[in-house]
Amino acid sequence: MSHRTAIAVAVKEGCVVSLSLEHASSWMAWALVPVLCAALTAPPAAAEGCSGAAAAAQPLPNQDVQIPSPGKIAPLSRPIGHKPVGANDKAPLPNIGKILASVLKPSAAAVQQQAAVAPVPVPNAATAPAPVAALPAPSVAVAAPADLPPGTSVVGWVTGPDSPNKTVPNLAVTGTDLGIMWDNGDPAHSQVLLAFGDTKGFCQIPGEQWRYNVLMRSSDRTLANTVAVGDGAVGNRYSGAPVWRPGIAKQIVNTINAAPEETGIIPTAGVGFGGKQFLNFMSIKTWDGDGTWTTNYSAMAVSSDNGETWGVYPGTIRKPEAGNEKFQMGAFLKPGPGDPYLYTYGTPSGRSGSAYVARVLPAVVPDLTKYEYWSSDANAWVPANPAAATPVIPGPVGEMSAQYNTYLKQYLVLYTNRSNDVVMRTAPTPQGPWGPEQLQVSSMFTPGGVYAPFLHPWSTGKDLYYNLSLWSAYNVMLMHTVLP
């Protein structure tokens, strides 16, 4: 093995980031904290990230470097809190292209098209900030495949040794999870950005090249066998990923030293508009057990260069108290027709809590004092008081994603429930009422443990595409659900 050098997370590698906001007056003159970057048949599952094909992978010469550990745990053994309860590490991987028959059984309630979205009251002009343009929608949707029967199938691997994206030789990503997707809101360079959680590289290198998080980019509108991701290029904001050097995806958000004990910086939601990218993340205090973890806080990072560099708004920190414990994880929702608001769903840390919802005008996203929280007790949106938020979806609700679906003419959410099934709910408004759970992926057919179904923002019709993490493989796969 060649001589290993340590990547110095320093100015010479372009990782010390200092960002400033353009037009500060329109953004409440917020300060930014600099961020220090630090097959057609199923193969057997890998019980740990460093086994099987991941363990056998050999770094290329430019990848044979040691990355300083971002936290106290080294080397990374998959974050135990993300393990679904009852997940079987030795379960076989699902077959690519196979329809998971469980979603076709009568026990799964059929999805019915419902009435159009009910109008949402416009905010009082005397108290609301100045009107803003509607959030941009992608100009071209994902190409519709040939007619398929209703049901769910595995399209292909997004990350890992079996991925067509070759994330191992191209980005030093042998194992990761999440893959939160959002449209970057840039009509001139339209892309989908994908944010991943705890990521490991080559097992032979001390520390296994652990990164708290990484980002990838895609312009793929066919989704034929995965969400296609290209190679990363240093300093190229439209390449396949931000990289420290060719072949190594870089960590995009690191600690801001706002907590004395921290073992992770995990993305939970993203949205792009106005030339900027906004990323909600949670600071992990401890991974406590299967499906459980404790957070220090949640907060929001921003990027003005398509995710290449990031800074954190200190005013967006939500410590888990005074109602903010309901918003430790998030899911952004771009509005339906005629609605000026951006919505954000919140859940407590772990997967046992209920879901809540808040809204804000896009021009003031970093200002928590401008958020309004839905309260069924008041039957109204309550300003600047997260403690007033009442559940809109009863728990347990795992990691979730949301969209306005043009086929159903309804709002739609995906998440995993108590049984670790991927389920869908629909509603006429972001605050509900939300219909019953409708099964999309059964845990009986995915015993390796699935979690975090994150919708592709360019699939908003009858064909739903979404990323789904599989614990036993500790990688992300693309799923395709055809609605009835």
Cα–chain center distance at 17: 23
Q: Give the integer Cα–Cα distance in Å for 78 and 440.
A: 26
pLDDT score, position 142? 74
pLDDT score, position 280? 98
Place 135 in a pLDDT band, splitting at 50, 70 and 90.
Answer: low
pLDDT score, position 31? 42
Q: Give the integer Cα–Cα distance in Å for 65 and 202.
A: 10
Measure Cα distances from 429 to 31, 345, 346, 400, 466 in Å: 34, 13, 16, 17, 22
Q: Which residue has the higher pLDDT, 76 or 107?
A: 76
The position carrying tokens 């739903």 is: 464
Residue 243 has pLDDT above 70, yes or no: yes
pLDDT score, position 17? 34
Q: Give the integer Cα–Cα distance in Å for 457 and 77.
A: 31
Pair 282, 259: CB distance under 8 Å: no
pLDDT score, position 9? 35
pLDDT score, position 73? 57
pLDDT score, position 297? 98
Lowest mean pLDDT among 143-152, 206-215, 412-421: 143-152
Residue 117 has pLDDT above 80, yes or no: no
Residue 36 has pLDDT above 90, yes or no: no
Q: Which structural domains are found in the chain, ordered by start?
A: 5-482 (2.115.10)
pLDDT score, position 20? 34
Q: For Cα atoms 180, 79, 298, give the angle at the middle one, nearest 5 degrees.
A: 55
The position carrying tokens 């329109």 is: 26
Q: What percent of the chain has pLDDT over 70?
A: 79
Mean pLDDT of 305-310: 98
Q: Give the integer Cα–Cα distance in Å for 145 and 64.
A: 40
Residue 25 has pLDDT above 80, yes or no: no
Residue 57 has pLDDT above 60, yes or no: yes
Token digits of residue 388: 């007033």
Place 71 in a pLDDT band, splitting at 50, 70 and 90.
Answer: confident
Tell me what the pLDDT averaged over the chain comes to.
Answer: 84
Residues belonging to the chain? 484
Mean pLDDT of 331-352: 96
Mean pLDDT of 158-181: 97
Q: Which residue has the higher pLDDT, 7 or 455?
A: 455
Q: Give the integer Cα–Cα distance in Å for 199 and 467.
A: 16
Place 374 in a pLDDT band, splitting at 50, 70 and 90.
Answer: very high
Note the pLDDT tens digit of each residue in 233-242.
999 999 999 9
Mean pLDDT of 398-410: 97
Q: Give the integer Cα–Cα distance in Å for 439 and 9.
A: 45
Q: Shortest CA distance to 207 belongs to which of 66, 62, 50? A: 66
pLDDT score, position 127? 39
pLDDT score, position 141? 65
Mean pLDDT of 141-148: 66
pLDDT score, position 397? 98
pLDDT score, position 110? 44
pLDDT score, position 100? 62
Residue 447 has pLDDT above 90, yes or no: yes
Q: What are phi and psi of 456, to 5 degrees?
A: -80, 125
3-state secondary structure the chain: CCCCEECCCCHHHCCECCCCCCCHHHHCCCCCEECECCCCCCCCCCCCCCCHHHHHCCCCHHHCEECCCCCCCCCCCCCHHHCCCCCCCCCCCCCCCCEEHHHHCCCCCCCCCCCCCCCCCCCCCCCCCCCCCCCCCCCCCCCCCCCCCCEEEEEEECCCCCCCCCHHHHHCCCECCEEEEEECCCHHHCCEEEEECCEECCCCCHHHHCECCEEEEECCCCCCCCCCCCCCCCCCCCCCCCEEECCEECCCCCCCCCCCCCCEEEEEEEEEECCEEEEEEEEEEEEEECCEEEEEEEEEEEECCCCCCCEEEEEEEECCCCCHHHHCEEEEECCCCCCCCEEEEEECCCCCCCEEEEEECHHHCCCHHHCEEEECCCCEEEECCHHHCCCCECCCCCCCEEEEECCCCEEEEEEECCCCCEEEEEECCCCCCCCCCEEEECCCCCCCCEEEEEECCCCCCCEEEEEEEECCCCEEEEEEEECC
